[in-house]
Chains A and B, each alone.
Chain A
Amino acid sequence: MRKRTVRSRLTVALVAGVVSCVVVVGAVAQSKNAYIGKLEGPEVVTDPAKFPKTFKEAPQLAALVKAGKLPPVAERIGQDPLVLKPLKEIGKYGGTWRAGFTGPADFWNGFRCCSGPDHLMFWDYTGDKVVPNLAKGLEMQDGGKTWLLHLRRGMKWSDGKPFTADDFVFWYEDIYKNKDLVPTPSSAMAINGKQGSIEKVDTHTVRYRFPEPYFMFPDVLAGSTELAGQMWGYRALGGFAPAHYMKQFLPKYAGQAELDKKAKDAKFDSWVRLFVAQNDWARNPDLPVLSPWKTATPINTPTWTLERNPYSVFVDTAGNQLPYIDKVVLTLAENLEVLNLRAIAGEYDYASRHVDLGKLPVFIENQQKGNYKVHLDPGDYCDLIIKFNLNYDADPEIGKWFNTADFRRALSLGIDRAQINETFWLGTGTPGSVVPADHNKYNPGPQYRKLWSTLDVKKANEMLDKIGLSKKDAEGYRMRADGKGRLRIEIMTLGGQFVQYTQISEMIREQWKKIGIDLRVQEVERSLALKRTAANEQQLGAWNNDGSEHLFTFPLHVFPFEVDAVASSGPLYARWFQSGGTQGKEPEPRMKELMDKWRKAFGVPEKERIQLGKEVWKIAAEEVYIIGVVGQAPAAMGVRVVKNSMGNIPARMYNSPDGKTPGISRPATFFWKN
């Protein structure tokens, strides 16, 4: 009997051992995705029948209402709340969310976490479908030439004043059309280069009129475009502005002399500088806003604090006014190393911005100690791209090679992407061209991932020999065709970014030795980079094309689109494009074709647009204006470190600047479980 027990125990132990082994093996087999979960997120409820009938609020706001300092919650929210269905559960009020930021230039940090986002329309959690956001709805009329925007009744600015169509008309008439404030009109307000207009229909209805059909308009209002809300206030853009507050900073209402004096007293060069500083969501705590949190201590102090907006229009399905978390405190980190150290030590509650992929093993190792969990959110874009400046003319020979397609292709073939992926992406990336992830609707097809984007030193050498670069010097580097010595090209990189551009470029320099190309890596500081690009002094530029997964709302790393970019594939082409062909330089035929297709897509229905989008990417991959290196990895803000006790955290988020990730997961619904 006893013996049997022992034996049966042994059997149990054996079976248990085998089972656990199987489980472990299974876990290991699956574990490539152990940190990459299922894409999920909260949803916007649009059916008024499902709206909550009564509202609740945070205890400190209830106290203020009791003291007579605030109107009751239902009055503050209005008749048409913006209802969010939290990802997992209804949360609890209270607590602080601690995170880090790197200084006044890091304003995207707050926009991403805390602005709501305050776009008029926005994306669902998949980043693909446009849903109503601050606006109740958008109505197409007149075959796409006219759009009616319906506002929420009773919605208010953070100071309690109503948010109405007047705020749109004020922005359009007094700000956007003022040449001092907005010197170059925004392409978001234009279709095929022709500007549209904004007018008031009634208190809660705004009409946009365009000379031609503008089918992309809902996407433009949803994406991080210049009509995207108050984040662009510092550039006097955004699509609307608090008229009752901002009027005091306009000469038309305040009087020129008085305003000049005010600007001088506040130590600004001009009233324009004063205006944009006052219209800055991150810098002016007095600015009325529409976001769930509002700036309490500004970004140019060591702690950027954001507090709940008592007039927030965001509510959950149970009628709780959002956000759940009282306060967001971003502390200044002297450098990225310090920021990462604090995150590893568990001093941040939620961090993904500036978290270094290279430190992933350290983050994983410290999960228990820091009481956090690591998630990976790979993006759909390329984390490292190399742009050829097609307008480079300081050295005509180099400019000529940059405009030779086979030269660009050969350089792309000379990169050993597998090495770079293993070293700098810890093997998490996908090597390939600039085209977005295969599941992206504008992806032209799987063959374009590898087009001119695999390592082929032999072919690259043959191509370079053939185009007239066959002469080499004693060290094996190719000589210039004009006989002025070795062909030296430069790449401009920035330090302190999400991706280690300088170090990776140094690896590429070693790899290009094999194809006889002498690359010089120059790390510069951001403002110098902007200056040099604008002055057309940049040769090659390293950057990432995050945002390009939304080809039509974030195209600046697909072709020369923005004049002031840190790395450009042609600043003169960009000027030509933005000015509608009056300034800059006319692009070569293939580039022009690409630009035409992109522009045309705004005025056609979705099906045709998708086709045009695919063609844009086809040209980009075939011509290699930009070399894609490694992408679809969590390098840019994709390593997410979240405290275990924070609730409603998705297993995976759609990682995109257009979705203001984590904004797309609605941080207003995050809460503290204890």
Chain B
Amino acid sequence: MAVLAPPTTPAHEPAPLALPEQRIFVASQWQLMWWRFRKHRLAMVSSVIVIGFYLVVLGADFLAYADPDRSEAQRSLMPPQRVYFFDGWRFAPYVHGFKGARDPNTFKRVYVADPTQKVPVRFFAEGFEYRFLGLIPTTRHLIGVDRGRDASTTIFLLGTDLQGRDLWSRLMYGTRISLTIGLLGVTMSLVLGVVLGGLSGFYGGITDTIIQRTIEILRSIPTIPLWMGLAAALPREWTILQVYFAITIIISLLGWTELARVVRGRFLAMREEDFVVSARLVGCSQLRTIFVHMVPSFMSHIIAATTLALPAMIISETALSFLGLGLRPPAISWGVLLQQAQNVQTVAISPWLMLPAVPVIIAVMAFNFLGDGLRDAADPYGR
């Protein structure tokens, strides 16, 4: 895949070139990266998925149609409901009403759809009140039912959990928490990684030794037990918000080491480059040298490394919560949802409660492919 043909003629004697090649010569670094990135099909698809996920993060309460904490025993463990899109030939999505009762012989709750009762599903319908993007108070949701009816008692796209809470709506809220934890965690480890890695690479000597040995020690400890230890040390009486931030910090405290290594390597390589030496000679302060001259030249690498670190963060949150050490109910995250599904009766009776595993897999794969594409793009001259 030859992106760039080596120049065959001296620059001072411009030869007529084919148009695309001309473009390459005048293109900026970012443009080159974009072109390279576009060639990575999977990464392109993944980036759309990732954007989609973050749209869910922003609009979780808009996409949810039921209050995720509203429980009702009379709709405990409802299976996912079928949505009919066409009423006759007309596009008019509707769902059937249902009747539920407990079977006295099997002790299961049995739900029977009532085909005579059609409940139209409306778009931009009214539901519970929330603040869109945390700012605008509204009651509109993407889907819902007619005025006078409560969507949380009629639509169950992904079924309900034991307490009769709507799984779809909980999944939306869970996505919000799980993905922001990843993002926050990565941001924190990014800052730590760049600063510590930068110090290490720029100064070398004893600073380098101390930081590098610290990294080695941290990396030599198996992650899951270390997380478990740290997470178990969180005071039980902390509020959900405190635990949330603490978990983010715990995850990022270990995530920075890899990034710091990369940054340090780049610094070491770049320290003696002409433009760095010149910057120093003209009297730039050290901070200016680092942040204005050196960091931009390996920005692309940092972006790629960050993207690749994200799925690890998401997995760690999910794993910790799944083990009951991370977030706890009433917080909703993918890990919390999965933790509530880890029992025999879920596998045997209500397998739809395991659905939250699907977005975990998709998100992690999408981030990985995206990171892969970005890494390739970060080095547009590479083959």
Check: B343 CB closer than 8 A to any chain A CB: yes
Q: Which residue of A lies closest to B70 (CB)?
A: A510
Q: Are A34 and B105 within 8 A (Cβ)?
A: yes
Instruction: Specify which of A337, A418, A428, A506 is in contact with B344 (CB 8 Å cutoff).
Output: A337
Please determine whether B69 and A510 come into contact, CB atoms closer than 8 angstroms.
yes
* A29 to B: closest C-beta gap in Å: 9
Please measure, in the bound complex, the distance between the C-alpha atom of A646 and the C-alpha atom of B104, giving whole angstroms.
26
Q: Are A419 and B71 in contact (CB-based, < 8 A)?
A: yes
Considering only CB atoms, which chain B residue lies closest to A338 in the complex? Answer: B344
Question: Which residues of chain A from 627 to 657 have a CB within 8 Å of any chain B CB?
Answer: none
A420's closest neighbor in chain B, by CB?
B73
Whether B104 pairs with A419 at a CB distance below 8 angstroms is no
Contact of A365 among B76, B104, B106, B343 (CB under 8 A): B106
Q: Is A340 an interface residue when CB atoms closer than 8 A count as contact?
A: yes
Q: Judge whether A364 and B106 touch: CB under 8 Å.
A: yes
CB of B83 to closest CB in A, whole Å: 26
State whether A361 touches B344 (Cβ < 8 A): no
**B105 touching A426, Cβ below 8 Å:** no
Nearest CB on A from B197, distance (A) = 40
Q: B74 in the interface, Cβ–Cβ < 8 Å?
A: yes
The residue that A360 contacts in the complex, of B71, B72, B107, with Cβ under 8 A, is B107
A423 at the interface (CB under 8 A from B): yes
- Does B236 contact A423, Cβ atoms closer than 8 Å? no
CB distance from A83 to the nearest CB of B (A): 39
- State whether A31 touches B104 (Cβ < 8 A): yes
Q: Is the CB of B349 within 8 A of A361?
A: yes
B interface footprint on A543-567 (CB within 8 Å = 1, 0 otherwise): 0000000000000000000000000
In chain B, positions 88-125 with a C-beta closer than 8 Å to chain A are: 102, 104-108
CA of A520 to CA of B329, assembled, Å:
11
Contact, CB under 8 Å: A509 / B73:
no
- Give A197 to B108 CA distance when docked, in angstroms: 56
Q: A361-B107, A361-B108, A364-B107 are in contact. Are A426 and B344 (CB under 8 A)?
A: no
In the complex, A10 has a CB within 8 A of chain B? no
Interface status of A362 (Cβ within 8 A of chain B)? yes
Residues 310-334 of B contacting A (Cβ, < 8 Å):
328-330
Contacts of A418 in B (CB 8 A): 73
Please tell me if B345 contacts chain A, counting CB pairs below 8 Å: yes
Chain A residue with minimal CB distance to B239? Answer: A520
Instruction: Count residues of A near B (Cβ-Cβ below 8 Å).
Output: 35
Q: B342 within 8 Å of A by Cβ?
A: yes
Given contacts A419-B71, A422-B74, A509-B330, contact A358 B345 (CB under 8 A): yes
Interface status of A427 (Cβ within 8 A of chain B): yes
The residue in chain B whose Cβ has the minimal distance to the Cβ of A421 is B73
Cα A448 to Cα B236 with chains together (Å): 37
A589-620 toward B: CB 8 Å interface, digit per residue (1/0)? 00000000000000000000000000000000
B102 to A422, Cβ gap below 8 A?
yes
A residues less than 8 Å from B344 (CB atoms) = 337, 340-341, 344, 359, 362
Complex contacts, B164 vs chain A, CB 8 Å:
423
Bound-state Cα–Cα, A419 to B70, Å: 12
Which positions 29-88 of chain B face chain A at CB distance < 8 Å?
Answer: 69-74, 76
CB distance from A638 to the nearest CB of B (A): 13
Assess whether B237 is interfacial by the CB under 8 Å rule.
yes
Say whether A34 contacts B104, CB under 8 Å.
Answer: yes
List CB contacts (< 8 Å) of B343-378 with chain A. 343-345, 348-349
Q: A28-B104, A427-B102, A509-B330 are in contact. Are A337 and B343 (CB under 8 A)?
A: yes
Considering the complex, which residues of chain A in the window 312-361 have a beta carbon less than 8 Å from any beta carbon of chain B?
Answer: 337, 340-341, 344, 358-361
Task: Check B162 for interface membership: any CB of A closer than 8 A.
Answer: yes
Contacts A422-B76, A506-B329, A509-B330 given; indicate if A361 touches B345 (C-beta within 8 A). Answer: yes
Instruction: Please tell me if the beta carbons of A426 and B107 are within 8 angstroms of each other in the complex.
Output: yes
- In contact, A419 and B107 (Cβ under 8 angstroms): no
Residue of B nearest to A366 (CB): B348
Among residues 20 to 77 in chain A, which have CB atoms less than 8 Å away from a CB atom of chain B?
28, 31-32, 34
Whether B138 sits at the interface, judged by CB under 8 Å, is: no
Residues of B with C-beta under 8 A to A520? 237
Q: Which residues in B have their C-beta under 8 angstroms from that of A490? A: 237
> CA of A359 to CA of B345 in the docked complex: distance in angstroms?
6
State which of A28, A34, A423, A428 has its C-beta within 8 Å of the C-beta of B71.
A423
Q: B237 is contacted by which of A360, A423, A522 (Cβ under 8 Å)?
A: A522
Residues of A within 8 A of B76 (CB): 422-423
Q: How far is the CA of A361 from the CA of B350 in the complex (A)?
A: 11
B161-177 interface mask toward A, CB cutoff 8 Å, 1 = contact, 0 = none? 01110000000000000
Q: A378-428: which have CB < 8 Å to B?
A: 418-424, 426-428
Given contacts A337-B344, A422-B73, could you give 18 more A-B pairs where the C-beta distance is less than 8 Å? A28-B104, A340-B344, A358-B343, A359-B345, A360-B107, A361-B107, A362-B345, A364-B106, A419-B73, A422-B102, A426-B102, A427-B102, A503-B163, A507-B163, A509-B330, A510-B70, A510-B71, A520-B237
Q: Can you identify 26 A-B contacts, CB atoms within 8 angstroms?
A: A31-B105, A337-B342, A337-B343, A344-B344, A358-B343, A358-B345, A361-B107, A361-B108, A362-B345, A364-B105, A364-B106, A365-B106, A419-B72, A419-B73, A420-B73, A422-B73, A423-B71, A423-B73, A423-B76, A423-B162, A423-B163, A424-B162, A503-B163, A509-B330, A510-B70, A520-B237
